[in-house]
Structure 1
Amino acid sequence: MGGTHSSENRWALVSQDFKFKYLGSVITSRNHLDSEINCRIGAAAAAFGKLRDKVFRSHDIKLSTKVSVYMAVVHPNLLYGSETWCLYRKHISTLDRFHIRCLRDIMNIHWSDRVRNTEILRRANVWGIEAYLMRRQLRWCGHVSRMSDERVAKRIFYSELQDGKRKQGGQLLRYKDVLKRHMKQCSIVPARWETFTKDRSHWRRLVNTNVTKFELRRLKALDAKRDELKARQPAALSYNYIAGVLTCSECSRTFSTKSGYASHLRAHQRRSQPESETVAVTEYG
């Protein structure tokens, strides 16, 4: 006797995600910057590691010289090709953490020393990473705007897609969105920026001046936010037990640990706090 055997053909859509390196930059099929950021940090870390013992940890070299070497060797590796990046906040934070970590290593300052990142930047006399990114991209767009109309870079810079539409909801960041954000943070009117770029020296002075002001505001805001958090007094908590179980007196929620109970009460206090008593601090970058 023979039996029958039936089989099902199952088809699955496999996404083709590829990446390759071109002229030192990592290109991905999805046009994401995660791989490029990791590659840049890896290259900068390798350059830093080669100079760490002989230069950055040397007791015979001044701090200003060490920082100059860092800015001349490591920093260009970190921000190579950044003129055309469409950076999200997570990318800026990742780059800035590496930047601060290198400066702390150069000055031999550990986290246990309780020195603020803003103080690290002031001692090294350098900016945060967002300010350098901002200056690079604004200078680059000024350079492109002064090109002749036949140049490919300028044609692509001012071109738009003929077909296609953006979906409803959150959208992917565009390069012009990044430039508009930089210009607003630097008090440059986006509708008039091309009139300033015609004079190269004037545009460079304008960018340098406004980026410096942006960085000073950012550091001042971070210090103010830190001071406000330190000055805030912790509220006295009373633990409410019902039948031996920690219970919230407002919503009757139960907790097994005191830390969870305390966090829950602080959330109630924040929601009940009037808006006029809330201190609003703008964090630039």
Structure 2
Amino acid sequence: MNENFLSRKEISRSTKMNVYKAIYRPILTFACESWVLDRRQKSRMQAIEMKYLRKVKEITRMHRVRNDLIREDIGIEPLQDFIEKRQLSWWGHLNRMNHERPARKVWEAKVTGRRRRGRPVTTWDKQMGKIIGERGQTWERARKMTANKKEWSKFVYEGRI
């Protein structure tokens, strides 16, 4: 983002936040539904997000203000939560999808052959299971919930059943 835009005093905070929601965040999270982020990537995403939000609030890191307080003051959810909601939404869509659709076939396909040495790669399914578990549901209960779009939407966006 152009530094001149964020540092301009004549542009209101609400306009800068509208630009964040309409342009900046969608660019950062394009196709995030299929991502599997490790700890380092999550940290970098948070750093990029906070760099923008700190510029909007005109706070530097030297002010030693916590990220949570900045987000709370501006009224914005963490980028990681936004990505998780998008992923859960896509997972529900995949579960409702017809078994003949190509996206569903690819998701259900099993890789043949041996895996490489080292730590097993975190799969998208494992990550989704972890997110669902953190929200207090089991994989099977969540699969049943996806059949009802309204119930699934409440679970994804409001965190309740």
Q: Which has the higher strand share?
A: 1
2:24 maps to: 74
1:187 maps to: 136
Separation in 1, partners of 2:151, 2:143: 12
Instruction: Name the structure, 1 or 2, with higher relative contact order (CA <8 Å, separation 6+).
Output: 2
1:196 maps to: 145
| Percent identity of equivalent pairs | 25
CA-atom RMSD in angstroms: 1.9
Separation in 2, partners of 1:60, 1:188: 47
Task: Note the C-alpha offset of 1:59.
Answer: 2.8
Contact 1:64 1:124 in 2 (8 A): no
1:207 aligns with 2:161: no
TM-score by length of 1: 0.53
Separation in 1, partners of 2:41, 2:140: 27
Contact 1:92 1:129 in 2 (8 A): no
Task: Note the C-alpha offset of 1:169.
Answer: 4.9
2:110 maps to: 160
2:99 alignment partner, SS class: coil
2:53 alignment partner, SS class: helix
Equivalent of 1:65 in 15, 21, 43? 15
- Trace 1:11-22 onto structure 2 (pairs within 5 A): none
Separation in 2, partners of 1:119, 1:148: 44
Bigger Cα displacement from structure 2, 190-199 vs 83-92: 190-199
Separation in 1, partners of 2:136, 2:12: 36
Task: Note the C-alpha offset of 1:76.
Answer: 0.5
1:127 maps to: 77
1:194 alignment partner, SS class: helix
Equivalent of 2:58 in 108, 115, 123? 108
Q: Which has the higher helix share?
A: 2
Kindly provide the amino acid, as one letter, of the partner of residue 125 in structure 2. Answer: K
2:98 alignment partner, SS class: coil
Task: Note the C-alpha offset of 1:168.
Answer: 6.6
1:87 maps to: 37
Equivalent of 2:96 in 146, 157, 160? 146
1:192 alignment partner, SS class: helix
1:198 alignment partner, SS class: coil
Separation in 2, partners of 1:210, 1:145: 19
Separation in 2, partners of 1:58, 1:168: 52
Q: Describe the superposition over 1:206-263 as per-residue Cα deviations: whole angstroms up to 9, x where unpaired.
A: 111229xxxxxxxxxxxxxxxxxxxxxxxxxxxxxxxxxxxxxxxxxxxxxxxxxxxx
Aligned pair count reads 160
Unaligned runs of 5+ in 2: none
Task: Note the C-alpha offset of 1:142.
Answer: 0.8
TM-score by length of 2: 0.90
1:96 maps to: 46
Unaligned runs of 5+ in 1: 1-47, 212-285
